[in-house]
């Protein structure tokens, strides 16, 4: 049977509805799953009019009780749209937790809009983790050529530099399990250093030796094939050339920059450590082009394909 997937519409003022409609208009995507769009039917109707596309038969639209006081305007930052975007995430997560869908795919939200609604919000992964009652999650970026898992993501760089050996070890373990779930039989993992040249034997900082080296040793003792700490300025090139299957990045930009430079359109965001499967596009709400029929659905299609692939395995990658 086809997997059942929930897709959130994202911020109603952004390109989320447009890329969802465009992706599902592709027969190859439409045929992969039984689809439920969690969002607002009027906004999806606007996206259909703008694109000139229709949703395929059988696609269900689920509105989790969020009604607008007036029609959202494309490209405008608003608390009401931020509140709605969170309601869509919550609705899709509830469907997964109740077993009514096998996975969820998320369109982009605007953190500023959500914050304007009065809610503290640092990102999709953290919010979904709270809904699932989970505290220890990680972000994996995946494409055909490179996989990167992050020790930390939405923190200031100053805070991200306060390394924790246990967190690094857990990241390696979750990354290894995710690689196995994605079909990599014997994952080869490279662990980035924090400092230039991975500290250069203490010349450029001692964090690598004090925190990363012991975490790698513990992972190796657990049977994981991992190496490092390795200089971040060369390790991604080695991974792309086939020396490694997964790279562990110490902080957000260390992992995001090479991924987005290499293959922005096909890079998918996967949440690790959750009891449900969640994949996402890795781009923003693009308010500057919202409502103009300019949004590219390539990344949404990639997220949908990967979510279907994981859903067929009947278990989330690296579930707690």
**CB-CB contact of 243 with 188 (8 Å):** yes
Looking at the predicted structure, is the pLDDT value of residue 147 above 90?
A: yes
pLDDT averaged over every residue in the chain? 92
pLDDT tens digits along 29-38? 999 999 999 9
Q: If you average pLDDT over residues 227-249, what whole number do you get?
A: 96
Q: How confident is the model at residue 317 (pLDDT cuts 50, 70, 90)?
A: low
In the prediction, which pLDDT does 234 show? 96
In the prediction, which pLDDT does 6 show? 98
pLDDT-wise least confident of 3-12, 65-74, 99-108, 283-292: 65-74
Helix (H) or strand (E) holding 149: strand 147-150
In the prediction, which pLDDT does 263 show? 86
In the prediction, which pLDDT does 320 show? 38
CA separation for the pair 319, 317 (Å, rounded): 6
pLDDT tens digits along 63-115? 988 778 778 899 999 999 999 999 999 999 999 999 999 999 999 999 999 99
Q: What Å distances lie between residue 235 and 43, 208, 244, 246, 248, CA to CA?
A: 43, 15, 9, 10, 10
pLDDT tens digits along 192-225? 999 999 878 888 889 999 999 999 999 999 999 9
Q: What are phi and psi of 173, to 5 degrees?
A: -65, -45
Looking at the predicted structure, is the pLDDT value of residue 17 above 80?
A: yes
| Largest Cα–Cα separation, the chain | 63
């Amino acid at each position: 049977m086809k997997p059942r997937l929930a897709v959130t519409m994202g911020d109603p003022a952004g390109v989320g509805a447009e890329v969802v409609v465009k992706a599902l208009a592709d027969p190859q995507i439409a045929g992969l799953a039984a689809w439920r769009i969690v969002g607002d039917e009027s906004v999806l109707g606007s996206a259909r009019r703008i694109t000139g596309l229709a949703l395929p038969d059988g696609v269900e639209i689920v509105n989790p009780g969020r009604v607008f006081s007036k029609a959202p305007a494309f490209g405008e930052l608003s608390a009401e749209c931020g509140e709605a975007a969170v309601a869509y995430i919550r609705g899709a997560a509830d469907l997964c937790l109740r077993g009514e869908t096998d996975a969820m795919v998320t369109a982009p939200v605007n953190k500023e809009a959500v914050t304007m609604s009065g809610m503290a919000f640092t990102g999709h992964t953290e919010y979904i983790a709270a809904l699932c009652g989970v505290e220890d999650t990680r972000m994996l970026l995946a494409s055909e050529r490179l996989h990167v898992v992050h020790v930390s993501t939405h923190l200031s760089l100053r805070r991200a530099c306060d390394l924790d050996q246990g967190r690094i070890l857990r990241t390696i373990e979750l990354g290894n399990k995710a690689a196995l779930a994605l079909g990599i039989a014997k994952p080869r993992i490279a662990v980035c250093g924090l400092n230039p040249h991975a500290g250069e034997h203490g010349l450029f900082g001692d964090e690598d030796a004090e925190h990363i080296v012991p975490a790698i040793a513990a992972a190796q003792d657990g049977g994981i094939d991992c190496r490092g700490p390795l200089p971040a300025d060369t390790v991604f090139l080695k991974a792309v050339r086939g020396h490694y299957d997964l790279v562990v990045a110490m902080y957000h930009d260390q992992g995001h920059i090479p991924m987005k430079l290499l293959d922005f359109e096909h890079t998918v965001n996967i949440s690790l450590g959750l009891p449900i499967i969640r994949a996402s596009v890795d781009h923003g709400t693009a308010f500057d082009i919202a409502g103009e029929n300019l949004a590219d659905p390539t990344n949404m299609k990639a997220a949908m394909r990967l979510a279907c692939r994981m859903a067929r395995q009947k278990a989330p990658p690296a579930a707690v």
